Structure 1
Amino acid sequence: MMFQSLLYDHLDELMATYSSTMTSDIRLAIHAMLTCHTEQNGYSQWHCQHRTTFDWLEKQQRKLLPIDYFMVTFTLPAELRPLAKGFPKQIYQAMFTVSASIIKDFADRAKSMGETIGFTSVLHTHNRRRDLHPHIHMVVTGGGFDTNKRQWIHCKNQYLFNAFALANVWRARLLSHITDTLKLTIPRQLPPKWVVDCRHVGRGKSALLYLSKYLYRGVLADNDILYEDNGNITFRYLDSQTKTYQTRTLPVVRFLWLILQHVLPKGLRRVRDYGLLRGHSKHQLQQIQFAFMIAGQLTLPALEDKPISRKADYFCPCCHHLMRCLGVFRPR
């Protein structure tokens, strides 16, 4: 059962129920979904190309270092989610800006790290049940490069930063940014303690393999939509606690709106690199990799050339691996 088909069949009811709360970006997304694979837009043919990892993993292997990696997750509290619904571009941009500034400042003050670290931030807007739950997953190098000594400084004892300290600063800075910079009104009742998770996720390539499943995934795959019955849709999700699949059933229109609320504002970059992982730091990163290679601690994997040059990621709905474009056909 495809989301596009459900959207087409229940469009009138969806618009009647949620039109007043739809952003222009959601309206554009609906139009794009409804005209996809139709004569209006032409069509393309794709062939499933089974690869062992997603495109993100292949890209990150070119930046691989034989070091510990950490995943830091900054979560927007439930009380501020209405602001994210009303001002998604401003709030999501603020989350990127503030979380990046926090990691940079903590790294600058850490005595056990070098001057320059690297990290990649990825925005997710949903939890496993697909409710609105904005958070940023951040992949951070376990250490940094000391430009004076020209050597890599490793984190000690698989420890990056104190999660409670990160959470306190996250709360103070984000609220300040929302009120002082964005000039938005925040709710009176806010939790005194916010959540930032900081955990060690492995070393080298094994860490990247672990992280790849978190970072690049759609909101809901078509094969997770199980069935429609009496005007309700049932879909499955993997429970984080039990590691087993659970199901959730909603009226069709409510289900459509549940998914559509995760449409990102036009022009918002969901993935961003910082520090050593930025494109501008490519030369410095290659020098660090070369030093590890000379020490016999790093061998970069041989990577295949890209089958196509593409502006967007397309993955097989069955195996979720990269697909090759066989051609684009325009209407006459």
Structure 2
Amino acid sequence: MESRSKGGSVAEVLRKINLSARNFTAHQEKTLRALSYCRTSALGGHIDACDGCGNMSISYNSCRNRHCPQCQGHKKEEWIQKREQDLLPCTYYHVVFTLPQELNGLAISQPQLIYKALFEAAWATLNQFGKTEGLQLGMIGVLHTWGQNLSLHPHLHCIVPGGGIDHHGKWKKKVRTDKYLFSVKAMSKVFRAKFVALLRTSGVKDSNLMEKLFAKNWVVYAKRPFGGPKQVIEYLGRYTHKVAISNHRIKEVTDKEVRFGYKDYRKGGEKKEMTLSHVEFIRRFSLHILPRRFVRIRHYGILSSSWKRGKLQALQSDLKINIPEVTPKTLLNK
């Protein structure tokens, strides 16, 4: 008789297949195995003690892998607290740069090259438009590689302050009065040209691919701007440390299949369900395992790490911004 479990997790599916028998890279297999061991006896345990009431509890250790749906909460909280110190008093814009599906093959075979070029081309595009306005802009880029059905869909979410530093080193609050930062059509063409140029300088010489890339209209999507810094923090809290699929989207795991929910954005975000075999589900999930040490959240311009070493603080002081102190939000000691 077939066993079923309502709900489920990525780890549960992983424990139902033989990872060694599949065609994963060594890095992918190591990552998937870590996720399958997460919060089990395989990783040992620890004692949590509350400094306030003295209550103690024994728990299994987490794998702490960045691809694990169970291990992102603590990292996200720490990261968000730090970002609260970077905010400026302006409108923030949300721009999404998407790669065409013609690049999926290269994204699978050379992910380091493709995803690095995506970051660089997106920032080079925004930076060029900013310089046209006489401004040094800033950007936080967050890489997502998945679609709702776990297909490969590389795109970069960019959070851009609606202002920058002019050539006098002074803050200029608004880039434009429009509801969007820059013309989407104009950005799309520049983004395409810059990305293809990066491919060529990286040694990609497939002329047929280049023709296909230039023949296609690339997608740069400008979402409505955030209402203010608080909305930026709320957004970052939801999306910065997402993984390909969260466990709460998994509806059922049987001996052979996985059923999960997704939104079909081609039909206005209509909620649907999909059923895949264990092997196909994990194959799709593995497409979103990033190269070792690849940084998927990056900061540029006036939000870069070099700017934060003094210049950003000086700017915030000039603008009379009160910076919240970062204090740990947990009382648990292990």
TM-score normalised by length of structure 1: 0.79
What is the correspondence of 1:236-275 to structure 2 with a 5 Å cutoff? 236-240=261-265, 242-243=268-269, 245-275=271-301
35-44 or 96-105, larger mean C-alpha shift? 35-44
Q: What residue number does 2:170 align with?
A: 150
* Higher relative contact order, chain-length normalized (CA < 8 Å, sep 6+): 1
CA contact (8 A) 2:262 2:273 kept: yes
How far apart are residue 284 of structure 1 and its match?
A: 1.4
Q: In the TM superposition, what are the counterparts of 1:167-316 in structure 2 within 5 Å?
A: 167-185=188-206, 187=209, 189-190=212-213, 191-199=215-223, 200-229=225-254, 231-240=256-265, 242-243=268-269, 245-282=271-308, 283-293=310-320, 298-305=321-328, 307=330
State how far apart, in whole Å, the 2-side matches of 1:244 and 1:43 are: 42
CA contact 2:20–2:29 (8 Å) conserved in 1: no
- Cα distance, 1:280–1:95 mapped onto 2, change above 3 Å: same
Deviations 1:203-229 (A, max 9, x none): 222233234323321221222211124
Contact 1:25/1:264 (CA < 8 Å) preserved in 2?
A: no
- Matched residue, 1:67: 90
Go from structure 1 to structure 2 and tell me whether the alpha carbon gap of 1:124 and 1:8 turns closer, same or farther (over 3 Å shift). same
> Cα–Cα, structure 1 residues 149 and 171, in superposed 2: closer, same or farther, change >3 Å?
closer
Q: What is the CA-CA distance between 1:34 and the residue it aligns to?
A: 3.8
* 8 Å contact from structure 1 (residues 234, 250) kept in 2: yes
Residue identity over aligned pairs, in percent, reads 28
Aligned match for 1:10, one of 11, 17, 26:
17
Matched pairs, number: 298
**CA 54–184 in structure 1, closer or farther in 2 if over 3 Å, else same:** farther
Equivalent-residue separation in structure 2 for 1:208 and 1:37 (angstroms)? 29
C-alpha RMSD of the superposition: 2.8
How far is 1:54 from its partner?
4.1
The SS at the match of 1:226 is: strand
Contact 2:143–2:154 (CA under 8 A) maintained in structure 1:
yes
* Aligned with residue 79 of structure 1, among 87, 97, 102: 102
The whole-number CA distance in structure 2 between the counterparts of 1:5 and 1:196 is 37
Partners of 1:64 and 1:205 within 8 A in 2 = no
Name the amino acid aligned to 1:255: F
> How do 1:313-328 and structure 2 match up within 5 A?
326-327=333-334
Structure 1 position 56, deviation (Å)? 3.8
CA–CA separation in structure 2 for the residues paired with 1:91 and 1:243: 28
The C-alpha deviation readout for 1:169-224, integer Å capped at 9, x for no partner, is 11122122213323353635344211011232332222332343233212212222
Q: Residue deviations 1:242-296, cap 9 Å, x none?
A: 4554211111210111111110000110111111112221211112212222xxx
Inter-partner Cα distance in structure 1 for 2:325 and 2:269: 34
Per the alignment, do residues 40 and 248 of structure 1 end up closer, same or farther by CA in structure 2, a change over 3 Å counting? closer
